Structure formats: C-alpha cells, structure tokens
Structure 1
Amino acid sequence: MLPHKENTKTKGKKYLSLSQFIVGIILTVILTTIAVVGGMYFWHQHTQDQKVTANSEKLSKVYETLANDYYKSPNKDKLLENAIKGMTKGLNDPYTEYIAKDKTKAFNEDVTGDFVGIGAEMQQKGDHIMITSPMKASPAEKAGLKPKDILKAIDGKSVKGKSLNEIIPNIRGEKGTNVTLTIERGSETKDFTVTRDTIHVKSVEVEQKDKITVFKVNKFQEGTSAELKSAIQKAQRSGAKNIIIDLRNNPGGLLDEAVKMSNIFLKKDTTVLYLEKGKQQEAMKTSNEPLANISDLDISLLVNEGSASASEIFAGAMKDHNVAKIYGTKTFGKGIVQTTRELEDGSILKFTEMKWLTPNKHYIHGKGIQPDVKIDSSDFENLHVIPSNQTFKLGDNDQHVKSIKIGLNALNYHTETQNTQFDSSLQAAIKQFQKAEKLKVTGAFDKETNRKFTERLVEKAHEEDSMLEKTIQHIKE
C-alpha cells in the first residue's frame, strides 16, 4: 500500500488511514462486546445471588417459624440437622452426606486407619447400604461378607431409610462383642455374626511368592504412597525383578495418595487423571521424578470387584500409560470425587464435587476397569449365599444343595455328584464335617453347620488365594 500524501487544500485537517479505521471499528466492537457480556454476567450473577439470598431467607423463615410457633417444642439443633439431611438426601447421591459432630470421630478414624469394628467398607447406594469391600483378614472377611452384599438389618433391626452414618455406630462397638448383620446376596438373605475387633488398616503388606514380590495395598490412607515406595526400594535392593501390586478389595481413600503412588512409576508432569466439573477439565499430574530404576521391574496389578475409587485411579493411570498389565476381574466402578467441608460446630459436609477420568479420558463410573487378563477365583469362592434360616436334608432338590456340594468338596469332604439333589453321599459328607467340627451329627445342613461351613471356606480362600496363584502362573509363562 502506498503511503498517504497530504492534500494542500485540506491542510490542517487530519484523516485516518484505512488500517487505523479498521482497527478503530474492531476496538469499538470488542469494547461493546465486553460491556454487553460483562453486563449480562453481572445481571446473571446478581440474579443468582438474589436467588441464593431468597432461598436462604426462605429456609431461615421456615426454621424460625417451626422453632418458635410449632405447637410442641422441637429440638432446634435436630430441626436444623434434619433440614441439612433433607438437602443432601434430595440429591440422590450415595456419596453426599452430612456428618453430625458426634459422628465425625468414626469418619476421621477411617482416614487414619485405626478403629474398633468389623473391618468392612460400606457405601450408600440409593435406598440400600452396600458392602464395598471387606478388608483383608478382618472380622468381616472371616465371617464371609463379600463385596456388593446388601445390608438389610443389624441385630434384627431393619436399616431401611437410615443413612450410612446413622448405622455405623451400631456396627462399631466394644472389642470382643458380636453384631449380627442380615445380608442380602442376590436373591438370598442370610445372617452373619461378626465379632468386633480392633482394626488397624496396614496400608501395605509384602510377601514373596515364587520369586515374585507381592505388595498388598489395603487402602489409600495417610502415608500409603510412602509405605509402598519404601517397600519397593527394599525389594529392589534384594534383587526383585517381578512385582505384583494387589488392589483386591481395596475400597480407595485419599485422592492425593493415589496420585503420589502413581508418581512412583510415572515420570514428572505425567497426567494421572482428569478432574471434570461441568465443562471444565483439570489434569492432575505427577510432581516428581519416578523411583530410581523402576522401569527395570516387570509390574502387574491384581484387581477385583472390590477395587474401587482411588484403586481405580491408580489402575487407570498404570493401564493408560502402559506401565503395568492388569489381572483379575472388573473393578467396582466409582468415577466421582468427594470433598469435605468442616462446619463451625465441628460437623462435616461430604459431597460429590466432580467426576474423574483416566489419562485417556475414560469415564469408568458404573462400568469399572476391565483387566487385560481375566483371572477368576475358584468355584467355591463364587458360591451363592446359602440361607441360614433354612435346613437342607436328605431328599431335598434345591439349587443351594449344589452349592453345599461344591463347598464340601473344596474342604475335602467329597460327594459323588455335583447336582441339586440331596443324596446319601452328601448326607455322609455332612456327617463327617459335623463330626470334625464338633457339631451335632445329624446329616442335615442346618444353621450351625452353615455357619461353620462359611467360616472354613473363608479360611481356605484366604490361605490358598487361587486368584493370586493363577496370576503368578500367567506372569511366569
């Protein structure tokens, strides 16, 4: 473009160049847009603030009216708590809850890992309270409780309509005392008597299996990542080449511990997960270099349907970054994150703040993570619950009879058939079992026989661990 030449007839007047004119128009449009959008935002924000204020005033008015003018004298603290509980319950979110001041001790104990109880992680799912995972070697596991069991009653009293925090004090109690839990598993219901004990959730346990070092991570609590890092370093010094990180029945826990644990294996600034709220996404990345020489190890993960939340964050990061091969069965499927806010009186509001996605942006909520290699547990570990309020005897024909046969055969009390018919060989096997367990020898599968039968199968599953053994065989092949 040629430079503009001044016209002598118009000397003293100043004209804009075309480029200046265009820039002026653009600036005008931008400023107008900012003014309009800013005004709209201010109006929207003002409207929202007005709504919040109006709703707060409405809630306050209802509270004051009932507190002062109701024909009886209501407990004002209870009135307020019920209002808060109503708001959290109305969200239909099993992970959002209000925890009253007198219940916060149990909540905080779960983070540190020391309490008296049965050792089972639970969650509220709709109107049900579900066992997420019984902890390894806990009273709950020994009694036969399993992931996805539905709690129906405690000591004969229904838990219907009650929140998780309302029922926890009834499950916990004095060491050495018993609590009877009525459990629904599939279409069957059974009572489990569990003896309360001091539960210390040791984050990381280590054992050597066929030249493979197995790290059992029980929960993501304070210090879990540091424990695992230290344990792996010790294994490296001993010449370890193959490791398994066992996350079975690990219910999760602290998000930052899952990120730190991933950082043991992943390079600095590597995405562990994405947090998503509305249309906004934020990558949570590792902040340090990985453990020295960690790439020299062959790493495997072992998961099952009791592996949830932070376990799935860690497993998802390891899988998406091709750091480890995953064995076992599909995980639980919890892809949302909770935040806690402590209120002035010491009570706690726990609520779902966002959802999370794996590094490859998979949303696993309600779906779980599929293993690379499917490893099932033994047949006797997958038996349907056998109702404790029924007695099975010679001549019966029932699906539960087949479960009894499978279980007794696993315990080395052999029967001639594996069908649903209660025959003489099953009667003989039950008599042998009752005699060995010092029970009344009747040949009928009654409540007491059922209880001992369950105990022995749980012990066998714990001692033999067929899923771990099968995983090790796959790794060695």
Structure 2
Amino acid sequence: MKKFNNKYPKQVTMPLYKLLLLIFVTVLLTSVVTFASYKFGLNFGNDQQKSLNKIEEAYKQIDGDYYKDVDDQKLTEGAINGMIKSLDDPYSEYISSKDTTSYNEEISGDFVGIGAEMEVHDKYVRITSPMKDSPAEKAGIQPLDVITKVDNESIKDKSLKEIVNKVRGKKGTTVKLTIKRDNREPFDVKIKRDKIHLTSVNYSKKEDTAVISISKFQGKTTDELEDALKKAKKDQVNHVVLDLRNNPGGLLDEVVSSVNLFVDKNKPVIYLETKGDKPQAVETEHKKMPGLDKMNFSVLVNKGSASASEIFAGALQDYKIADVLGTTTFGKGIGQVHKEFKDSSILKYTNMRWLTPNKSYIHKKGIKPNKEIKAPEYEEIEIINPHKTYQLNDKSKEIKSIKIGLKALGYNINNKNESFDQNLETAVKSFQTDNKLQSNGIFTDKTTKKFIDLLRKKIQKEDLQLDHAIKYVHQ
C-alpha cells in the first residue's frame, strides 16, 4: 500500500497562462474586498480575520485533499451548524433550505394539506379530529378513522412526521388515504389538498366568564384575539380569562399588536437590549380596542408559558390591566432574529434580551403570578413509555406517576412512592379488568396506552386549574 509522507509538501504544477490568470483573479478579489471594507464598513479585527482565514483554509484543505469527493453544501452547512453548536444556546439554529417551508408554516400557522389532526395509534395513525370546513371534513373523514396507507403505500411503523409529510403537498393536488373505520373493510378516500390556517385563538364561555385561549403568537393572532374580545363584548361578560398555558411564544410583532388591544398608543410593551446598547422601548402604535375597560381580565399561565406569552402576561401585569394567575412561567427573556440566505436557508440566533414595561428582566426567572393556582398533580406526571414494563418489586419515578394517575382515575392507592408494591399490583389488576385487558398486574403495552388515553380525556374534560381561576376572579 502506498503511504503519504507528510514531511514533504506535494508539488503542484500548472501551465504559465493559468498561473497568470490566478494571480490576476487574486489581485482583483483582494481589491474588491478592500474596497467593500472601506466603502461599507466591513472591517474585521485581526483576531476575526485570522479565524476567517483558518475556516477558509480548513474548507479548502478538506475540499481538495479529502480521500473522497465531498459535498460543498454539506461542508458549508456543517460549518454553520458547528458555529451554532458552539454558542451553547438552545434557541439558535440553522434551518436548511429544504426545511424552511415547514418552519415558515409553523410560525405563520398556514400550510397546505387536508386539515386533520393525527396521532400514532397501533403502528398506524388515526384522526383525532378533522378541522372545521377542511378538505378532510368535506371528504367525510371522521374522528378515530385509522389511516393504513397513503397513495397505496403502507405507513405501518412510520413516524408521524413522515406520514404528515406524505399527506401534505401542493395546493390543488390530490392525496389518497386508505381508511379503516370500526369493523368495516378498509376503503379509499381521495382528498384535494388546500391551504389550511391553524387558528391560535379559541373562545368559549363558562357561566358569565369568557375564556380566550391563545396557543401561540403567529400570523393573524391579533385579528383572532380581537374577534374573540368582540364575542365577549357581545355576550356581555364581566370577566375574561386569557389562557396562555403551554403557549411557547411566537412572533414579536404579533404579541406587541395583541398587547396594543389592551394598552393605548405610544406605551412600551417591552424594552429590547442588544449587544453594547441601552434598552430600547418597543411601543404600541395604535389606540387600544374600545369597550374593554368594563371587563375584568386575568391571565392564566404555567411553566409552559414562554417567550412571547411572557411578554403578553408581563405587559398586562405591569400595566395592572390583569392579574396573572397560575404558576411561574418558563423564563425565556431573550429574543432571536432571522437571517435568510439567498438559497432560502435561515440562520436563527439570539441577539437580544428583553425587559417588561417596568424593566424587570425575567430570563431564567419567569413571571410570578399575582395568585398561585396549581394544576392537579396528575397533569404533570412523567411520560410512561408503552414499550417499557413495570411490575412487582420494580422501582422508578415512572411508577410514582402510575400511582398518581391511577388514584386520579379512582383506584385505591395508599402511597405515592416509587416502588411497585402489592397495593399497586392490585390496583393495576382492577384497572385491567375494568378495561377488558389481561388482568396480570403488569403495567405495559395496552395497559399503558389505555391509562394514557383515559388520563388525557380526564384532563380535557376536567380543567381544575381553569375552574379555580374562574372561581378566583369572582371573589
């Protein structure tokens, strides 16, 4: 085998005309860079220039001397991802051009598809609910329909993301789903894809209290919130609970315009503090929505309320427009900007921290509620893996969660420790018998899935934290 000796450099030869051309191009490029630096202020310090030279040198070395052909795009993206990783910042990321469509759909709330929510179920996926007036609903898709094939291709054991990508597509195109419903023979349904907007605001009424849930701050959230407030005015309610639990945040301009519905013109919503600069106010631009002064507002939050939802809660709290209820929020007091490249890829990175109107810095602290209202213990238990087995004499934190969940479902549990004891085994057997499962006292597979399903339904049906919040606003 031939070995390379790194002691001596390899010789490179080229025709004279190529050498002269290379010198000319190098001089030209140097002149352009020098002019651009002078003209546009693109001046790099010595340390920065050395770092850039090193990156360029490494790139050229790998591109020209690696033992196999390399993909230039992968090298570039790898370098960017490496820089992002070195920041040790979970909120900074590089989004490749192939992923920008789904990313933009996520922050805008708009996508092209059939308009149906799905979940993994017994190695396939099933419909949890078709959206109102969506192509799926119009095609007759029903809750609990199981999808077994997409365009004649089996989706067994595929991830939910893979299946969603297959179902989505270009507007006006058709997708064929093979559906299993109840005990009927599987049948095909053809659905024409269309543009779908996921609403971020939901309005409901409990007695004389309006509940307005905001799931995230995306495109059109302010319009949807304004419509919900108009419904509250029409219903002549005195109390409004703005539910921001598990709202992960969203777009800065959208949350500022949403706060503007409650806060008058030229008032700071937040202060942004960038590198080396003093905090700058981001102010409201319009008059507030008329007719809201007659209502009493409360904002309900939890540890899942983050970023833009904390901006919203913090502003209404500081201006004493609303009491904040619930538990301390997540504590994300930093913001990101997006740099889009010519190939549509996006560099998202943290470039600021923000403060509330009273100039409180909440990063890693969160917003503390005026009144603490905790959720039931069973809503915050550990996730139970259906593929794991828990049985007598086992010990783990998941077992404690099983005990809490079974007690909430009405079974006799005499302690909440992490040991799988005889008391738990008896309770599991009773649970299995009640749900027509094999009564062996072992918590796994179908038992776990049924347990998760019943707890999820209980949480959806009995929102005790919201009930306590409504009771508080009436005091």
TM-score by length of 2: 0.70
Pairing partner for 1:252 from 249, 252, 263: 249
2:66: which partner in 1? 70
1:306 aligns with one of 304, 307, 318: 304
SS of the aligned residue for 2:227 comes to: helix
What is the match of residue 372 of structure 1? 370
Shift, 1:416, TM fit: 5.8
Match of 1:471 among 457, 469, 472: 469
Match of 1:429 in 2: 427
1:240 match = 237
Give secondary structure in 2 for the equivalent of 1:104. Answer: helix
* Cα distance per residue 1:256-297 (max 9 Å; x no partner): 011001001001111100000123221001011111021111
Aligned to 1:81: 77
Distance 1:364 1:411, change over 3 A: same
Letter in 1 for 2:66: Y
Deviation at 1:401?
4.8
Q: What code does the residue aligned with 2:62 have?
A: L
Other structure's SS at 1:244 match: strand
- Match of 2:226? 229
Shift of the alpha carbon at 1:70? 2.9
Shift in alpha-carbon separation, 1:168–1:74, aligned structure 2, 3 A? farther
Q: Which amino acid aligns with 2:278?
A: Q
C-alpha change, 1:100 and 1:118, in structure 2 (3 Å) is farther
Structure 1 position 206, deviation (Å):
0.6
Q: 2:344 — aligned with what?
A: 346
Structure 1 residue matching 2:259: 3-state secondary structure:
helix
Deviation at 1:254, TM superposition (A): 0.3
Deviations 1:153-183 (A, max 9, x none): xx99xxxxxxxxxx99669644599xxxxxx
Change in CA separation of 1:236 and 1:424 when aligned onto 2, cut-off 3 Å = same
Q: Which has the larger radius of gyration?
A: 1
Amino acid at match of 1:92: D
Letter in 1 for 2:69: S
For each residue in 1:64-83, what CA deviation from the matched residue of structure 2 results, as whole angstroms up to 9, or x when unmatched? 33222333321111111111
Structure 2 residue ranges without an equivalent (≥5): 1-37, 120-127, 131-155, 168-176, 179-194
Quick check: 403-412 or 254-263, which moved more?
Answer: 403-412
Q: Which residue, out of 436, 439, 442, partners 2:437?
A: 439
Could you say which residue in structure 2 is the equivalent of 1:26? none
Contact 1:245 1:302 in 2 (8 A): yes
Secondary structure, in 3 states, of the residue corresponding to 1:93? Answer: coil
Separation of aligned partners in 2, 1:77 and 1:399 = 45
Residue 315 (structure 2) aligns with = 317
1:368-400 CA distance string (max 9 Å, x none): 111111111112223344465654445667765
Report the CA distance shift for 1:93/1:199 in structure 2 as closer, same or farther (over 3 A).
Answer: farther
Q: Return the TM-score normalized by structure 1.
A: 0.70
| Equivalent position to 1:411, from 388, 409, 412 | 409
Query: Which has the larger displacement, 271-280 or 418-427?
Result: 418-427
Counterpart in the other structure of 1:108: 104
On the 8 A contact 1:118/1:172 being kept in 2, the answer is no
CA RMSD of aligned residues (A): 3.4
Tell which has more relative contact order, 1 or 2 (C-alpha 8 A, sep 6+): 1
Identity of counterpart residues, as a percentage?
40
Paired residues for 1:448-459 under 5 Å: 448-459=446-457
Q: Comparing 77-86 with 246-255, which one deviates more in the overlay?
A: 77-86
Give the secondary-structure state (helix, strand or coil) at the position aligned to 1:294.
Answer: coil
Give me the whole-angstrom Cα distance separating, in 2, the residues matched to 1:168 and 1:54.
Answer: 46
Cα displacement string for residues 45-70 of structure 1 (whole angstroms, at most 9, x for unaligned residues): 79646655554444333323322233
Find the residue that maps to 2:362 and give its secondary structure.
coil
Name the residue aligned to 2:277. Answer: 279
Q: Which residue of structure 2 lines up, in the alignment, with residue 462 of structure 1?
A: 460
Q: Distance in 2 between matches of 1:311 and 1:253?
A: 8
Take 2:421 and 2:92, find their aligned partners in 1: how far apart are those partners? 51
Deviation per residue, 1:199-243 (Å, 9 max, x gap): 963210011012100000011000101110121022112212110
Question: Cα distance, 1:302 vs. partner?
Answer: 0.3
1:147-166 matched pairs, under 5 angstroms: none
Match of 2:261 among 259, 264, 273: 264
Structure 1, unaligned stretches of length 5 or more?
1-41, 121-135, 139-154, 157-166, 178-197
CA distance in 2, matches of 1:228, 1:384: 33
Residue pair 1:338, 1:350 contacting (<8 A) in 2 also: yes
Q: Is the 8 A contact 1:118 1:171 kept in 2?
A: no
Q: Distance in 2 between matches of 1:90 and 1:170?
A: 30
1:381 aligns with 2:399: no
Higher mean alpha-carbon deviation, 88-97 vs 383-392, is at 383-392
DSSP 3-state at the match of 2:279:
strand
- Give the AA of the match of 1:358: T
Q: What amino acid is the match of 2:97?
A: K
| Aligned mates of 2:90, 2:59 — CA distance in 1 | 26
Which residue type is aligned with residue 225 of structure 1? Answer: T
Output the CA distance in 1 between the equivalents of 2:160 and 2:348.
Answer: 16
Aligned counterpart, 2:95:
99
SS in 2 for 1:295: coil
Cα contact 2:403–2:413 (8 A) shared by 1: no
Aligned residues: 374
Change over 3 Å in CA distance of 1:338–1:205 after alignment to 2: same
